[in-house]
């Protein structure tokens, strides 16, 4: 892991972005913002999942008119997403929003952009500006558009990245002319390789905090791979101050996956159990996939970062489960449960889920009372006797030493 690059710091509500602040998690509502109850309900669901900042779309005046009611009820800071109508930005600022997402390229009159910047400066509200592969090519000036398209035909990756950096520089000159520096930058593409290269280039050129994201990444099933490939690479290289994973799905899933990514990189502390499980193979004699799914569901009620391992055999399981606070080795007809390396119970297959939950909950409560500590010792699990197959035969001999 490369140490994070130092950037300027901006404050969004009570959340700091950049500087020495932790990498924050963002998402965006999928509701119509003017439907206040639905919007607030979705914001609260995301907050429970661990989001730090939520963005809402304000394409119409009735959306900005709903902002005061939303802000009064939101547990996290709110960003107003503005594109074509500068009036929406001014209305959002007046409503007390915590940040503006602005695309100066979509507002033709420079004086209108200046008015938005002035309003944000007066209220101490930061602005995110950025470029997006879907809207980066000039649309109004036919000559400029033709020139940009010509460049892309010869080397799409290289020239798209160059155009993105040029646009960011162009936008930043507007803010510099207005002596406004509470700015967050983004440079999104559907291609993880372009994202990595564009953000890397921008990080070398400017010291503004960076909002990482992959645009129109698709459904969760493929979007998570596309997003984590780019965002994880950048974060591991010390680049990025706030992130949004984008799915064509429930935004809560975006939050959960972003949080897991940051935890895996050591950029965020866990506040819930960590579940690990062995891969499926021909040695497994239970429905491991169903068991893991059920364990994940019941662990959601525990709010202590206990490490739980679910293993389907005794071959690699003991080694892979080392370090787990609670582990179960499951075989045909029974499972053996360990708590910090000590064998505690042997239970029937039908009772494995309940027993594992009970042991995990009891251990978590001991941690909360100060009677046990997570990671207090290196947990070493001695393999149990091999669990027999249904016909009574033993899969293999396990040496104990």
What is d(CA 128, CA 18) in angstroms, rounded to the nearest whole number?
A: 13
CA 310 to chain centre: 25
CA 151 to chain centre: 34
Beta bridge partners of 347: 335
Residue ranges, comma separated, of all CATH 3.30.413.10 domains in the chain are 274-368
pLDDT at 87 over 60: yes
pLDDT at 355 over 70: yes
What is d(CA 359, CA 37) in angstroms, rounded to the nearest whole number?
A: 39
pLDDT at 156 over 90: no
Closest CA to 82 of 120, 32, 124, 128: 128
Q: Over the stretch 324-344, which tens digit does the pLDDT of each residue have?
A: 999 998 877 888 898 988 889
Closest CA to 129 of 183, 197, 78, 52: 183
What is d(CA 364, CA 97) in angstroms, rounded to the nearest whole number?
A: 39
Residue ranges, comma separated, of all CATH 3.20.20.20 domains in the chain are 9-264
Note the CATH number of domain 274-368.
3.30.413.10
Helix residue ranges, H only, 247-351:
251-264, 288-299, 317-320
342-348 and 334-339 strand pairing: antiparallel
For tokens 């033993």, the residue is 394
* CB contact at 8 A, 211 and 100: no
State the pLDDT at residue 393.
55
Strands (E), 13-143: 15-18, 24-28, 53-57, 78-81, 99-101, 127-132
Q: Over the stretch 201-235, which tens digit does the pLDDT of each residue have?
A: 999 999 999 999 998 888 999 999 999 999 999 99
What is d(CA 182, CA 120) in angstroms, rounded to the nearest whole number?
A: 9
Q: Over the stretch 109-128, which tens digit does the pLDDT of each residue have?
A: 889 999 999 999 999 999 99
Structure tokens at 97: 């929003």
pLDDT at 395 over 90: no
Q: Over the stretch 39-60, which tens digit does the pLDDT of each residue have?
A: 999 999 999 999 999 999 999 9
* CB contact at 8 A, 102 and 108: no
What is d(CA 387, CA 397) in angstroms, rounded to the nearest whole number?
A: 10
pTM for the model: 0.88
Structure tokens at 138: 């000039």
Q: By mean pLDDT, which of 152-161, 254-263, 374-383, 385-394 is the weakest? A: 385-394
What is d(CA 162, CA 197) in angstroms, rounded to the nearest whole number?
A: 10
Closest CA to 215 of 198, 191, 236: 191
Mean pLDDT of 59-82: 97
What's the longest Cα–Cα distance across the chain? 82
Structure tokens at 324: 């787990």
Note the CATH number of domain 9-264.
3.20.20.20
């Amino acid at each position: 892991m490369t140490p994070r690059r130092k950037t300027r710091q901006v404050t969004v509500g009570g959340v700091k972005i950049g500087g020495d602040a932790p990498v924050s998690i963002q998402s965006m509502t999928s509701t119509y913002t003017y439907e206040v109850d639905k919007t607030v309900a979705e914001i609260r669901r995301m907050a429970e999942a661990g989001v730090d900042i939520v963005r809402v779309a304000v394409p119409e005046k009735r959306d900005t008119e709903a902002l005061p009611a939303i802000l009064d009820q939101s547990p996290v800071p709110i960003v107003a997403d503005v594109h074509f109508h500068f009036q929406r930005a001014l209305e959002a600022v007046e409503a007390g929003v915590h940040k503006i997402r602005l695309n100066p390229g979509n507002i033709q009159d420079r004086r209108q952009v200046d008015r938005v910047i002035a309003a944000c400066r007066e209220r101490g509200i930061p602005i995110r500006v950025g470029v997006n592969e879907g809207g980066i090519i000039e649309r109004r000036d036919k000559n400029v558009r033709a020139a940009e398209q010509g460049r892309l035909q010869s080397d799409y990756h290289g020239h798209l990245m160059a155009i993105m950096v040029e646009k960011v520089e162009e936008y930043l000159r507007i803010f510099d002319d207005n002596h406004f520096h509470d700015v967050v930058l983004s440079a999104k593409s559907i291609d993880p390789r372009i994202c990595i290269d564009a953000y890397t280039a921008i990080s070398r050129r400017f010291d503004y905090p960076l909002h990482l994201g992959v645009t129109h990444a698709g459904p969760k099933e493929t979007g998570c791979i596309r997003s984590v490939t780019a965002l994880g690479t950048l974060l591991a290289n010390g680049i990025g101050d706030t992130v949004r994973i984008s799915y064509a799905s429930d935004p809560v899933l975006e939050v959960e996956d972003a949080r897991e990514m940051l935890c895996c990189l050591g950029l965020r502390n866990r506040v819930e159990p960590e579940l690990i499980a062995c891969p499926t193979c021909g040695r497994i004699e239970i429905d491991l996939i169903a068991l893991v799914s059920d364990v994940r569901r019941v662990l959601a009620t525990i709010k202590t970062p206990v490490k739980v391992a679910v293993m389907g055999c005794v071959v690699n399981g003991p080694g892979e489960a080392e370090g787990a606070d609670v582990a179960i080795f499951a075989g045909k007809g029974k499972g053996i449960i360990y708590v910090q390396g000590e064998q505690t119970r042997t239970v029937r297959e039908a009772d494995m889920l309940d027993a594992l939950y009970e042991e995990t909950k009891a251990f978590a409560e001991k941690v909360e009372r100060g009677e046990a500590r997570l990671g207090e010792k290196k947990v070493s699990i001695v393999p149990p006797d091999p669990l027999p197959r249904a016909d009574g035969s033993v899969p293999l001999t396990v040496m104990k030493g």
